């Protein structure tokens, strides 16, 4: 009885603590959800360009536009050089303006601390810090060249950075505690070493030649079964040693140097994260520039919070809630999969701004239970209602009750197609769903006249056995029994069988039941997850019951009912 009462009291305390927080992360089924003001929250965001929050007039001009674009959250840099222009003199004018403008425009804020490092460089450190390089030393290349990169091994660098960070965050805690406008904090920006894989300063050299900290080797031993494949391979080359120097444990190459540097970058960030947690307890994250285009450590920002280094970052910086990718390269679906791991929820703080952002957002929420999606330099986008991202965010705002309900239930999928990746097959309890790019249909001349195919994408929810929600843009779906025999002829532009056309598939009919489309309705989603009917789509709009489709120039939400017949 005592044990039961104690457990109930502990649960009550934890619940009250959670309710007193404006934002926090919690497990929801198989996913991690962001909770804001005690409700699940999906970040439909955008990140401002680097200099767009350095001017009050710009902030006042941009924030109303972001609301018109359908955003619910804006990611905003906080600049060390403008926060502490003179040592020990602090100015929070820009931070206050951001928070006030966000409140006026019904937006939440995620601040990005541009402190000791931004895209590896120390460009946002104040002038008084930069000039006193003896007190605040730089990183060095192997050739001995000093870099515009503050040393992560310097206690003075940390103390100066952390002092400004904590003063700034304490001001936010004081002014925002009743409102909860600020819902997450990113510490530093794309931290990492350039030119070489690691720092060659005297302190770095000494530590590299020393024993690997027991904290890291013990972590690797304890978590060996769940380590990232790249880490288990790298560690295994030398026989999974649990003690020794960095070279003895991991081998003598630049990837060992990257692991070494990651450990000390993460250790630096951990100390800042602990400071933050004690001041304003919101989710904390770090972001990474990708190791893409065949580059090696030092050619990309070495040792940042990259997927293949996640074990090092989790070990040395456990207070950080997740690692986030900044995505500017091709292969979007492959990159996001690297960061949606069982120990790392997916959040995209930066993505290349473009007309495909709308379908990408649908995809990551449907396929990866993402916490949020944020194109970069969002103020350069359009706030016209026809702009793809605006259309997308408006529909995703409608879908929010369904997304937050079905996250982590494995009943939701995302779809993303282009001219090379045209089809995906989903199997659900005997039902086969073949999803394709809209231009696989012959009816739009852009599909065959050499035009570049815009990306198509969306999401599909299974509500019941024969009931689905399909939403997005530029997709077409066919529903069949998984074991249904195939009899299919090639079709002409008018939808009828081509004269003398070849069989696409013809196995002959051997009996069995088939799946038919009972109805396709365009709907709006109410806050209680019920639907408001807009119109019935039949005849030409579902190819006489053969498929469900949404064109490439529009975003829709469709309620689909199926039936079975023989």
Q: Which of 343, 360, 335, 322 is nearest to 456 (CA)?
A: 360
Q: Dihedral of the CA atoms 325, 329, 333, 335 (nearest 10)? A: -40
Number of H-type helices and E-type strands within the chain: 15, 25
Q: Measured between alpha carbons, how far is 216 from 458 in angstroms, rounded to an integer?
A: 41
Per-residue pLDDT band at 20 (split at 50, 70, 90): low
**pLDDT tens for residues 60-115?**
999 999 999 999 999 999 999 999 999 999 999 999 999 999 999 999 999 999 99
Q: HSE (CB half, 13 Å, CA atoms) of 102?
A: 26
Whether 491 has a pLDDT exceeding 80, the answer reads no
Number of CB atoms found within 10 A of residue 195's CB: 16
**pLDDT tens for residues 122-161?**
999 999 999 999 999 999 999 999 999 999 999 999 999 9
- H helix runs in 432-509, sequence order: none
Q: Are 472 and 414 in contact (CB under 8 A)?
A: no
Per-residue pLDDT band at 486 (split at 50, 70, 90): low
Q: Are 89 and 412 in contact (CB under 8 A)?
A: no
Q: Are 19-211+263-408 and 413-565 in the same CATH fold?
A: no
Whether 17 has a pLDDT exceeding 50, the answer reads no
Per-residue pLDDT band at 363 (split at 50, 70, 90): very high
- Rounded to the nearest angstrom, the gap between the alpha carbon of residue 400 and the centroid of all alpha carbons in its chain is 17
**pLDDT at site 339:** 97
Average pLDDT over residues 318-342: 97
- Bridge partners (DSSP) of residue 289 are 326
Q: Is 59 helix (H, G, I), strand (E, B) or coil?
A: helix
Average pLDDT, the chain: 93
**pLDDT at site 429:** 87
**pLDDT at site 12:** 41
**pLDDT at site 483:** 81
The class (CATH top level) of 413-565 is: mainly beta
Q: Measured between alpha carbons, how far is 565 from 542 in angstroms, rounded to an integer?
A: 18
* Dihedrals phi, psi of 84, to nearest 5 degrees: -130, 70
Average pLDDT over residues 351-373: 98
Domain 19-211+263-408, architecture per CATH: Alpha-Beta Barrel (3.20)
**pLDDT at site 21:** 81
Whether 18 has a pLDDT exceeding 80, the answer reads no
Whether 13 has a pLDDT exceeding 70, the answer reads no
Per-residue pLDDT band at 426 (split at 50, 70, 90): very high
Average pLDDT over residues 424-452: 93
Q: Measured between alpha carbons, how far is 143 from 157 in angstroms, rounded to an integer?
A: 23
Domain range list for the chain: 19-211+263-408, 413-565
- Contacts of 218 by beta carbon, 8 Å cutoff, 6+ apart: 242
Q: Are 455 and 356 in contact (CB under 8 A)?
A: yes
**pLDDT at site 484:** 79
pTM value is 0.92
**pLDDT tens for residues 393-402?**
999 999 999 9
Per-residue pLDDT band at 512 (split at 50, 70, 90): confident
- Contacts of 38 by beta carbon, 8 Å cutoff, 6+ apart: 19
Q: Which of 92, 87, 90 is nearest to 56 (CA)?
A: 92
Angle at 107 between CA 338 and CA 354, to 5 degrees: 50
- Bridge partners (DSSP) of residue 548 are 477
Angle at 311 between CA 232 and CA 256, to 5 degrees: 65
Q: Is 32 helix (H, G, I), strand (E, B) or coil?
A: strand
Per-residue pLDDT band at 27 (split at 50, 70, 90): very high
Q: Are 49 and 377 in contact (CB under 8 A)?
A: yes
- Contacts of 101 by beta carbon, 8 Å cutoff, 6+ apart: 59, 60, 63, 107
Q: Is 152 helix (H, G, I), strand (E, B) or coil?
A: coil
Whether 501 has a pLDDT exceeding 80, the answer reads no
User: Residue 243 has what DSSP assignment?
Assistant: S
Whether 196 has a pLDDT exceeding 50, the answer reads yes
Per-residue pLDDT band at 4 (split at 50, 70, 90): low
**pLDDT at site 492:** 65
User: Which structure tokens are listed for 389?
Assistant: 């991202």
Q: Measured between alpha carbons, how far is 425 from 345 in angstroms, rounded to an integer?
A: 25
pLDDT above 90 coverage of the chain, percent: 87
Q: Are 283 and 23 in contact (CB under 8 A)?
A: yes
Whether 19 has a pLDDT exceeding 80, the answer reads no
- Bridge partners (DSSP) of residue 374 are none
Average pLDDT over residues 460-472: 97
């Amino acid at each position: 009885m005592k044990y039961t009462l104690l457990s109930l009291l502990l649960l009550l305390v934890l619940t009250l603590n959670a309710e007193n927080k404006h934002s926090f992360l919690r497990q929801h089924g198989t996913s991690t959800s962001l909770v804001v003001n005690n409700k699940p929250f999906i970040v439909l965001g955008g990140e401002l360009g680097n200099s767009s929050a350095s001017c009050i007039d710009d902030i006042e001009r941009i924030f109303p536009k972001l609301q018109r674009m359908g955003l619910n959250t804006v990611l905003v840099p906080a600049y060390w050089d403008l926060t502490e222009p003179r040592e020990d003199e602090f100015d929070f004018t820009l931070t206050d303006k951001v928070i006030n403008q966000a409140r006026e425009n019904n937006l939440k804020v995620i601040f990005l601390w541009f402190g000791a490092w931004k895209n590896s460089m120390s460009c946002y450190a104040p002038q008084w810090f930069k000039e006193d390089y003896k007190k605040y030393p730089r990183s060095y290349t192997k050739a001995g060249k000093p870099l515009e990169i503050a040393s992560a091994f310097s206690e003075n660098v940390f103390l100066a950075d952390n002092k400004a960070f904590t003063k700034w965050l304490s001001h936010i805690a004081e002014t925002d505690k009743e409102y909860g406008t600020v819902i997450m904090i990113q510490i530093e920006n794309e931290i990492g070493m350039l030119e070489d894989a690691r720092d060659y300063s005297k302190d770095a050299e000494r530590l590299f030649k020393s024993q690997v900290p027991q904290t890291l080797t013990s972590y690797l031993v304890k978590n060996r079964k769940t380590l990232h494949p790249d880490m288990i391979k790298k560690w295994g080359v030398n026989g999974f040693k649990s003690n020794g120097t960095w070279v003895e444990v991991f081998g003598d190459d630049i990837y060992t140097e990257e692991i070494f540097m990651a450990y000390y970058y993460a250790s630096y960030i951990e100390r800042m994260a602990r400071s933050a947690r004690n001041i304003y307890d919101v989710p904390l994250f770090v972001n990474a520039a990708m190791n893409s285009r065949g580059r090696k450590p030092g050619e990309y920002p070495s040792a940042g919070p990259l997927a293949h280094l996640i074990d090092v970052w989790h070990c040395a910086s456990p207070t950080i809630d997740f690692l986030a990718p900044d995505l500017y390269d091709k292969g979007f679906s492959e990159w996001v999969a690297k960061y949606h791991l069982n120990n790392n929820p997916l959040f995209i703080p930066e993505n290349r701004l473009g007309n495909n952002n709308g379908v990408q957002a649908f995809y990551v929420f449907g396929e990866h239970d993402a916490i949020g999606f944020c194109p970069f330099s969002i103020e350069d986008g359009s706030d016209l209602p026809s702009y793809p991202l605006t259309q997308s965010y408006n529909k995703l705002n409608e879908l929010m009750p369904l997304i937050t309900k079905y996250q982590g239930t494995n009943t939701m999928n995302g779809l993303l197609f282009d001219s090379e990746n045209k089809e995906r097959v989903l199997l659900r309890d005997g039902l086969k769903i073949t999803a394709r790019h809209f231009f696989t249909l012959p009816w739009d001349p852009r599909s065959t006249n050499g035009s570049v195919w815009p990306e198509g994408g969306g999401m599909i929810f299974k509500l019941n056995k024969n009931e689905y929600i399909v939403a997005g843009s530029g997709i077409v779906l066919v529903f069949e029994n998984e074991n249904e025999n195939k009899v299919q002829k090639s079709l002409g532009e008018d939808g009828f069988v081509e004269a003398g056309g070849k069989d696409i598939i013809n196995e002959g009919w051997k009996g069995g039941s088939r799946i038919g489309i009972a109805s396709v309705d365009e709907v709006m989603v109410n806050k209680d997850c019920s639907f408001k009917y807009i119109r019935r789509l039949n005849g030409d709009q579902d190819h006489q019951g053969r498929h469900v489709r949404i064109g490439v120039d529009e975003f829709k939400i469709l309620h689909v009912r199926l039936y079975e017949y023989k």
